[in-house]
C-alpha cells in the first residue's frame, strides 16, 4: 500500500554555492543590466539535499532585461533522456518561481527565457559555459554522479592551454596533465601516452570541461588508480587531417608524450566521434585506440588505405544513446559495415536513459578511459545497456494519429498542418519527475511539427500543444477531457500502469450518470456512479458507498476522464483487494458543499442505488478543493462518514473542532499530499501540526512523490480504496 509514498518532510535546502563548482568565464555582468545588491545576494536557484531544484527569478529583473513578458520558463536538460525542455515558472508576488524534482544526480545546465525568444543568464550563478554565454550549470550530487564532483584538493591534474599553428592560422587546445606530471624541459620523467579528445562541429573544446566534466572525471579516475597516467588533449573539431597532424606535432614538441601508435588514442562526440573513427580506421597507423561517442560515421572504407584489419587497432569502441540520439540509426548502420569489413569492434550497448547529450557522453568517457593503454578486463556493454534493435523510424508525417507509442515507451508527437506558420511549438506534458509538467520543443518538418521523447515510464499521460504561447489540443487524438478542452491523453502500458489500464471487456464495473436536483444551485446536476461487477440492487445487504469529490476548476467527469477511477476500481475489485462498493462522483462546485452533499447528492444516490445509510458503511474523499470539503464535513458532522480521506488539502483551522467526536466516530481519517512541488505542501504540513496539537487521530504515510496533479491523486486513490470498509 505504501509503494508510492516517500519521506514525510522536506530536507534542508543548501544554497547553490554548496552544490556547484566554480564555472568557467562568469560573463553575466557583461551581458546583463546591473542587479540590485539585495537581489545579487539572493541566489535564483537552490538545491535541497533530496535533489529538488527551487527557482525564484525576481520579476523586477525580468522586467528590466526582457520588458513585459507573459511567461517565464527555465530551459535546460531536464527532459526525458536529458533532453532540452522548458519548465514553466509561476508569478507569485515579486518573483517568478517553481520547484522541480527530485532530479537524478548529475550535471544540469539552464537559461531563463521569457516569451520564447528573450533569454538571459542567471547572474547569481557563477558556473557558466564558455561557448554558451547564457547558460549556467549546477551539479546534483549522488553516488551515480560521484565522478563528476571535484576531486579532493591536491589530488587532481592540471588543465593548460596549448597554442599551435595550422594552415597559416593560430589555434588552441586544452591539455590535461595527470598528477605528478613533469614538464618536458625538466630533468628526468617518463613519456606519457596521449588521448586526443575531439568536439563536434557545433561544439567547442571548452564544453568538455564545462558540460562534459572531463577534468573531474580524469581527476577522480586518476585518484582511484582506475586509469593509466596519460596526457589528454582536448581540441575543437572536427578537424581535417592537416589540423590533427599539426596539433599532434605541437603536443609532441610541448609535452612529454609517447609518439608510437600503441600509446596514441582518439575519441570524440558527434562529428568529433566521426572524425576519430575515420582517422583511426583509414589513417596509416596513427592510433591504436579509438572511441566514438554518438558518432555519425556509417561506412568504413575510404582514405586510400582501405579498411582497418583486425590486427591494426587494439580497441574500437562504439557508444550511442537511445532512439532520441541522432547517432542511433548511424550506429546501427556502422556496426553492419564494420562486420562486412571484418573490423573488430566493441559496442557499449544502447544507453536506455540518455540521447545524444552530455549526460551520455560523460558516461561514455568514464567507460572509455580505463580501457586505454593496457589490456581491458571486459569487452561487453555497460550495465543496463541493451542491444541495437534495428533502425528507429517513426511513421512518416501525416500517416498516423498521434501520439505514436513504441513498446519501449518512446512517444512521437506530431501536429497537423494548422501550425505551419508558427514560430515556437512545444508539447506540454506530465513527463517530469513525479508527474510535473515540462514543455519539450518540437521541430518543424515540412508543414508539421514533430518530436520524439522518452523513454517514458508506464503510466497515464496528458498533454497539449503550446503554439506561440497558446494552448491547443492535439486534433489527431480523439481522447477528451471535459473540463480541459485542450488536453489529450495516452497510456504507456506496463506493470507500473496496470491499474490505470482497461480491464478486459465485460469484466469491469459500470459507470452510469445520475441526475439530481441541486437546491443550492437551483438546477439539475449530474453525478457519475461506479457499480462493481455483479452489482445486485436486490441483494439483502446494501452496498457501502464512497463519495469521491473533484477539485477546483473540475467537475464530476474528472475522476473518470483524468483520474482513471473506473480502471483503478475495476482492477482492484478483480484482484480481490476491494470490498464491493458503490462510488459516487458528484458535482462539488457549490456555494454550500455540506448542504449540497447531505441534502442533494446523498439522497439522490440512495434513491438510485442500493447503498447503505449506516455511517460505518459510508466514506467521503476528495482531492484539493474536494479534500478540503471532505475535511469540512468531518469537522461539521463528525461520524456521518466513518471513513474520510483528503488528497492534497490542509486541515485548516483547529477552532471549534470536536476532537472527541471525530476520534470516537471515525474509523479512518487518512491524509495525503504531494512532495514539495505540490503548492499545498506548506499548508498541509501546518495542518498536521494543528491535528497533532488538538489530538486528532489520523493516518499519514508520507508524501506521494509528485506535484498538485493527477499522478499523485491516482496513486492516492489506489492506496485508499482497498482500505475502506475493512474495520
CA atoms within 13 A on the CB side of 149: 13
- To the nearest whole percent, how much of the chain has pLDDT over 70? 92
pLDDT at position 3 over 60: no
- Residue 51, all three cell numbers: 535533489
Contact call for residues 388 and 352 (beta carbons, < 8 A)? no
Q: What is the largest CA-CA distance in the chain?
A: 100
CA–CA distances in Å: residue 471 to residues 79, 464, 476: 20, 6, 15
Angle at 692 between CA 687 and CA 693, to 5 degrees: 95
Segment 613-618 shows an average pLDDT of: 98
**Model pLDDT for residues 245-268, shown as the tens digit of each residue:** 999 999 999 999 999 999 999 999
Q: Report pTM.
A: 0.90
**Model pLDDT for residues 401-421, shown as the tens digit of each residue:** 889 999 999 999 999 999 999
Q: What is the H or E stretch that residue 139 is in? A: strand 132-140
Out of 9-13, 322-326, 410-414, 422-426, least confident range:
9-13
Give long-range contacts, CB 8 A cutoff, 24+ apart: 440-445. Answer: 440/79, 440/80, 440/83, 440/84, 440/85, 440/86, 441/84, 441/85, 441/86, 442/413, 442/415, 445/397
For residue 309, the model assigns a pLDDT of 52
Out of 9-23, 51-65, 215-229, least confident range:
9-23
Where does the pLDDT of residue 392 fall: very low under 50, low under 70, confident under 90, or very high at 90 and above?
A: very high
pLDDT at position 6 over 50: no
For residue 203, the model assigns a pLDDT of 82
Q: Which residue has the higher pLDDT, 30 or 336?
A: 336
Integer Cα distance of 718 and 548 in angstroms: 13
Rounded to the nearest 10 degrees, what angle do helices 358-368 and 214-223 cross at? 30
Where does the pLDDT of residue 25 fall: very low under 50, low under 70, confident under 90, or very high at 90 and above?
A: very low
* Chain-centre distance for alpha carbon 439: 11
Contact call for residues 373 and 289 (beta carbons, < 8 A)? yes
Query: Which DSSP string corresponds to 46-115?
Result: EEETT--EEEEEEHHHHHHHH-S-S-EEEEES-SGGG--EEEE-EEETTEEEEEE-PPPSEEEEEEEEET
- Residue 350, all three cell numbers: 544502447
For residue 22, the model assigns a pLDDT of 32
Strands 264-269, 289-293: pairing kind: parallel
pLDDT at position 239 over 90: no
Segment 360-385 shows an average pLDDT of: 95
Helix (H, G, I), strand (E, B) or coil at 578: coil
Strands 438-441, 425-429: pairing kind: antiparallel
Show the domains of the chain with their CATH numbers: 13-147 (2.60.40.10), 150-371 (3.40.50.1820), 404-493 (2.60.40.10), 499-723 (3.40.50.1820)
pLDDT at position 302 over 80: no
Where does the pLDDT of residue 125 fall: very low under 50, low under 70, confident under 90, or very high at 90 and above?
A: very high
CA atoms within 13 A on the CB side of 483: 16
For residue 186, the model assigns a pLDDT of 60
Segment 520-529 shows an average pLDDT of: 97
For residue 17, the model assigns a pLDDT of 33
Q: For residue 426, what are the β-bridge partners?
A: 441, 466
Contact call for residues 256 and 184 (beta carbons, < 8 A)? yes
User: Do you find a cis peptide bond into 505, omega within 30 degrees of 0?
Assistant: no
Where does the pLDDT of residue 237 fall: very low under 50, low under 70, confident under 90, or very high at 90 and above?
A: low
Q: Which residue has the higher pLDDT, 239 or 406?
A: 406
Segment 30-38 shows an average pLDDT of: 40
- Residue 142, all three cell numbers: 549522488
Integer Cα distance of 484 and 588 in angstroms: 17
- To the nearest whole percent, how much of the chain has pLDDT over 90? 85
Helix (H, G, I), strand (E, B) or coil at 277: helix
Burial class (CB in 10 A: 0-12, 13-18, 19+), 534: exposed
Where does the pLDDT of residue 184 fall: very low under 50, low under 70, confident under 90, or very high at 90 and above?
A: confident
Amino acid at each position: 500500500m505504501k509503494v508510492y509514498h516517500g519521506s514525510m518532510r522536506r530536507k534542508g535546502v543548501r544554497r547553490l554555492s554548496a552544490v556547484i563548482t566554480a564555472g568557467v568565464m562568469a560573463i553575466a555582468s557583461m551581458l546583463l543590466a546591473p542587479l540590485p545588491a539585495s537581489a545579487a545576494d539572493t541566489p535564483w536557484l537552490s538545491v535541497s539535499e533530496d535533489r529538488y531544484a527551487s527557482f525564484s527569478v525576481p520579476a523586477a529583473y525580468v522586467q528590466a532585461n526582457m520588458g513585459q513578458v507573459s511567461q517565464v520558463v527555465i530551459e535546460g536538460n531536464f527532459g526525458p533522456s536529458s533532453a532540452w525542455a522548458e519548465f514553466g515558472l509561476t508569478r507569485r508576488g515579486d518573483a517568478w518561481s517553481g520547484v522541480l524534482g527530485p532530479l537524478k544526480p548529475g550535471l544540469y545546465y539552464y537559461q531563463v527565457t521569457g516569451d520564447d525568444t528573450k533569454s538571459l543568464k542567471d547572474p547569481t550563478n557563477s558556473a557558466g559555459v564558455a561557448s554558451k554565454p547564457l547558460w549556467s550549470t549546477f551539479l546534483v550530487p549522488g553516488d551515480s554522479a560521484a565522478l563528476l564532483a571535484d576531486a579532493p584538493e591536491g589530488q587532481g591534474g592540471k588543465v593548460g592551454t596549448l597554442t599551435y599553428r595550422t594552415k597559416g592560422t593560430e589555434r588552441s587546445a586544452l591539455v590535461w596533465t595527470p598528477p605528478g606530471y613533469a614538464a618536458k624541459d625538466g630533468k628526468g620523467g617518463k613519456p606519457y601516452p596521449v588521448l586526443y579528445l575531439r568536439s563536434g562541429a557545433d561544439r567547442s573544446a571548452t564544453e568538455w570541461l564545462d558540460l562534459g566534466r572531463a577534468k573531474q572525471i580524469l581527476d577522480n579516475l586518476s585518484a582511484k588508480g582506475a586509469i593509466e597516467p596519460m596526457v589528454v588533449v582536448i581540441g575543437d573539431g572536427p578537424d581535417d587531417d592537416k589540423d590533427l597532424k599539426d596539433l599532434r606535432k605541437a603536443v609532441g614538441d610541448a609535452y612529454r608524450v609517447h609518439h608510437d601508435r600503441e600509446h596514441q588514442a582518439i575519441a570524440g562526440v558527434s562529428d568529433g566521434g566521426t572524425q576519430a573513427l575515420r582517422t583511426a580506421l583509414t589513417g596509416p597507423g596513427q592510433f591504436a585506440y579509438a572511441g566514438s561517442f554518438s558518432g555519425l560515421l556509417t561506412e568504413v572504407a575510404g582514405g586510400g588505405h582501405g579498411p582497418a584489419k583486425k590486427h591494426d587497432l587494439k580497441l574500437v569502441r562504439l557508444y550511442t544513446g537511445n532512439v532520441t540520439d541522432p547517432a542511433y540509426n548511424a550506429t546501427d548502420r556502422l556496426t553492419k559495415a564494420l562486420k562486412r569489413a571484418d573490423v573488430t569492434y566493441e559496442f557499449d550497448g544502447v544507453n536506455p536513459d540518455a540521447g545524444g547529450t552530455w549526460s551520455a557522453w560523460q558516461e561514455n568517457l568514464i567507460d572509455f578511459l580505463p580501457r586505454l593503454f593496457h589490456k581491458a578486463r571486459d569487452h561487453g556493454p555497460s550495465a543496463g545497456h541493451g542491444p541495437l534493435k534495428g533502425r528507429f523510424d517513426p511513421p512518416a508525417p501525416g500517416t498516423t494519429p498521434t501520439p505514436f507509442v513504441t513498446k519501449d515507451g518512446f512517444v512521437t508527437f506530431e501536429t497537423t498542418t494548422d501550425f505551419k506558420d508558427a514560430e515556437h511549438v512545444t508539447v506540454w506534458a506530465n513527463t517530469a519527475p513525479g508527474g510535473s509538467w515540462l514543455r519539450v520543443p518540437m521541430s518543424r518538418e515540412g508543414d508539421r511539427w514533430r518530436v520524439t521523447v522518452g523513454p517514458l515510464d508506464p503510466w497515464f499521460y496528458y498533454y497539449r500543444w503550446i503554439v506561440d504561447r497558446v494552448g491547443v489540443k492535439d486534433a489527431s487524438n480523439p481522447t477528451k477531457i471535459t473540463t480541459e478542452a485542450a488536453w489529450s491523453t495516452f497510456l504507456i502500458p506496463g506493470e507500473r500502469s496496470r491499474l490505470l489500464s482497461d480491464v478486459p471487456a465485460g469484466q469491469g464495473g459500470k459507470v452510469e450518470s445520475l441526475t439530481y436536483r441541486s437546491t443550492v444551485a437551483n438546477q439539475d446536476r449530474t453525478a457519475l456512479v461506479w457499480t462493481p461487477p455483479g452489482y445486485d440492487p436486490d441483494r439483502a445487504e446494501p452496498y457501502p458507498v464512497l463519495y469521491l469529490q473533484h477539485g477546483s476548476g473540475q467537475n464530476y467527469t474528472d475522476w473518470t476522464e483524468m483520474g482513471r477511477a473506473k480502471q483503478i476500481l475495476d482492477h482492484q475489485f478483480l484482484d480481490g483487494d476491494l470490498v464491493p462498493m458503490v462510488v459516487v462522483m458528484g458535482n462539488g462546485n457549490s456555494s454550500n458543499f455540506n448542504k449540497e452533499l447531505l441534502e442533494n447528492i446523498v439522497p439522490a444516490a440512495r434513491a438510485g442505488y442500493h447503498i447503505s445509510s449506516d455511517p460505518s458503511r459510508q466514506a467521503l474523499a476528495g482531492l484539493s478543493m474536494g479534500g478540503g470539503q471532505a475535511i469540512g464535513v468531518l469537522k461539521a458532522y463528525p461520524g456521518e462518514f466513518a471513513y474520510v480521506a483528503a488528497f492534497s488539502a490542509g486541515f485548516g483551522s483547529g477552532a471549534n473542532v470536536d476532537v472527541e467526536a471525530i476520534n470516537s466516530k471515525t474509523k479512518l481519517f487518512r491524509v495525503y499530499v504531494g512532495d514539495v512541488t505540490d503548492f499545498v505542501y506548506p499548508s498541509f504540513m501546518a495542518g498536521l501540526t494543528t491535528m497533532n496539537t488538538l489530538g486528532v487521530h489520523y493516518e499519514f504515510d508520507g508524501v506521494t512523490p509528485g506535484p498538485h496533479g493527477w499522478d499523485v491523486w491516482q496513486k492516492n486513490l489506489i492506496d485508499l480504496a482497498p482500505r475502506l470498509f475493512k474495520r
